[in-house]
Structure 1
């Protein structure tokens, strides 16, 4: 892919826009955080969710449940940018506009910060925050990396802005030394595929109002279907599955049988482990720690207690009966559905 010379176009000045107004402008195209969803590598949403969001049918962001983390990210954005500036010495600045690609106007970019490099080039700076445990996603087998969904976001921005570098600065603690800084250079092969897939999503699905197929991880698909289908209706008529889905059912039953065999073996192993655990626990008595040596190796065994609050089913029933107002305020009823496939036995011919 030969990158043509072009300058991004300005779509709207975002300074002073409300959150609702900003979201409405974003629905006019594909933003950086949408890129990983279209590529099928997002841990949060499917392309179908994004499709419904763009058409204003339903917003998948409403159900993320992580509004506190998102708010923290917004509040700390300027601070993390300042840490990046102090760590690298690179000047940073903001341009509060939403940009679009002149050749693919549905590709939008709302960049956190821009960086001026020593050679005069402009780069992109993406600000991220995470927890202490979440920082592990920035390494794979000890090698520095960028989480794939963030990488897709940065490469989308480089394509729109026609820039060759993106930096990431991720804060995971409460001081300037608990930051991760990464640098990614432009990859034209990745960019070509990204542009093609975003074009298909926008032109063949959003504009033609044709929902994209589910191709993502099963858990994400199930969450998406539940989000858009609503609560189960036991009175609804049975659905006749098409032939391709019937083959899925056959394969599901095959895997179900394999899993049953594996579970039986697993239970046998667990039973043996439990028997050995019983002998060890008997020897430990009240002690929480034990040690032993055998075959040239030393072992430390811990058997520590842990306690957590719990409410029994009987007490929950009493709470509902005696304090219904408190029950309604604090008890949430969640719906879960279990898929079970049973093969019917053919009737014997008369």
Structure 2
């Protein structure tokens, strides 16, 4: 039976089975996920998720749908690739380590904290007869540096520590394939840390009991771009008919800082434009000799400089043409266009 060797100073326990997920539809699986906190949810609670804020997670668990529906996930291909390559990553790990790897297609929960769920990729049979967890990841080649020097992206560490707690196991492996051969592959070992685990459990418990169960919206945390996206998506489209709002409880010194940063940005942009103009002037004689060519080389006896002047072409529909399309073929216009909204935050300082 899967289960760890027990937590120090705590009673032995065995994870409980929630549901067999081998034949579960994605929709049903997502519904089960709403009944608790999964490993990939922990980073949002801690405010370090690159994908979601704590409010995104809260709304998901409480069934609140965004007012503004974003376009279909732009990274859906990466997610699908990651899912499809899990078996391959596990196979490479097994080949490199000589350890037996096997799946258990079950969603588990912590018997002491039943809101803690675990949907583990694979398990590993260790030589001493105990079991460990294997979490399989993929990333593009440019992201491989996040794994350099024995590193592991922090949100993945939280995910694995959550699983170790639910499964009551002492060791986990996390493997990542970042290329198309077995040498472009890394794996790391994570040992159970009861002190860090206690903090994770405390944070999850507070989120679940004080926010989800009581339906109390948590304060924002995490990446400001994600926070602004959350406010926009759940707040709805802008309404210019709303009267001017008098703000309270906010400090004007932050607006002063914003204005100072705006001035700094303006100066930097001015310098950037000056640099770009100087670069364009330098490029003129080189571009002239290139003509229609796209690449060249220049040698000065010490160095060789390779120059490229490649084209970037794109096809677009102009504003006037879009208006004609809307008037002449409204059905096509509706099918292939989508209304999105972005809002610009500006400050104008006036005398009181």
TM bracket, shorter-chain basis: 0.7 to 0.9
Partner of 2:172, secondary structure, is: strand
CA distance in 2, matches of 1:106, 1:41: 21
- Unaligned segments of structure 2, at least 5 residues: 1-6
1:111 maps to 120
Q: In the alignment, which of 128, 134, 146 is matched to residue 125 of structure 1?
A: 134
1:238-280 CA distance string (max 9 Å, x none): 3322232544323222211221222222222222222222343
The worse-fitting range, judged by mean Cα deviation, of 331-340 and 66-75 is 66-75
Structure 1 residue 85, shift from structure 2 partner: 3.0
CA contact (8 A) 1:171 1:178 kept: yes
The worse-fitting range, judged by mean Cα deviation, of 222-231 and 10-19 is 10-19
CA distance in 1, matches of 2:278, 2:350: 36
2:164 maps to 158
Normalised by the length of structure 2, the TM-score is: 0.85
Partner of 1:244, secondary structure, is: coil
RCO comparison, higher one (Cα < 8 Å, 6+): 2
Partner of 1:249, secondary structure, is: helix
Partner of 1:231, secondary structure, is: coil
Note if 1:31 corresponds to 2:1. Answer: no
Tell me: CA distance 1:192–1:306, structure 2 relative to 1, closer, same or farther (3 Å): same
Q: In the alignment, which of 65, 77, 98 is matched to residue 107 of structure 2?
A: 98
Normalised by the length of structure 1, the TM-score is: 0.85
Structure 1 residue 288, shift from structure 2 partner: 2.5
CA contact (8 A) 1:135 1:172 kept: yes
CA contact (8 A) 1:138 1:146 kept: no
Partner of 1:299, secondary structure, is: strand
CA distance in 2, matches of 1:321, 1:63: 27
CA distance in 2, matches of 1:137, 1:22: 29
CA distance in 2, matches of 1:4, 1:240: 53
2:94 maps to 85
1:176-212 CA distance string (max 9 Å, x none): 5654433322233432332232233223322332222
Tell me: CA distance 1:12–1:298, structure 2 relative to 1, closer, same or farther (3 Å): same
Note if 1:9 corresponds to 2:18. Answer: no
1:248 maps to 254
Q: In the alignment, which of 280, 284, 289 is matched to residue 274 of structure 1?
A: 280
Give the 5 Å matches for 1:148-187.
148-172=154-178, 179-187=185-193
Partner of 1:204, secondary structure, is: helix
CA distance in 1, matches of 2:328, 2:186: 52
CA distance in 2, matches of 1:106, 1:152: 16
RMSD: 2.9
Give the 5 Å matches for 1:241-320.
241-293=247-299, 296-320=302-326
CA contact (8 A) 1:168 1:182 kept: yes
The worse-fitting range, judged by mean Cα deviation, of 33-42 and 301-310 is 301-310
The worse-fitting range, judged by mean Cα deviation, of 326-335 and 115-124 is 326-335
2:207 maps to 201
Q: In the alignment, which of 146, 150, 156 is matched to residue 152 of structure 2?
A: 146
- Unaligned segments of structure 1, at least 5 residues: none
CA distance in 2, matches of 1:334, 1:61: 8
Structure 1 residue 142, shift from structure 2 partner: 4.3
Partner of 1:243, secondary structure, is: coil
Structure 1 residue 61, shift from structure 2 partner: 10
Tell me: CA distance 1:299–1:76, structure 2 relative to 1, closer, same or farther (3 Å): closer
Partner of 2:230, secondary structure, is: helix
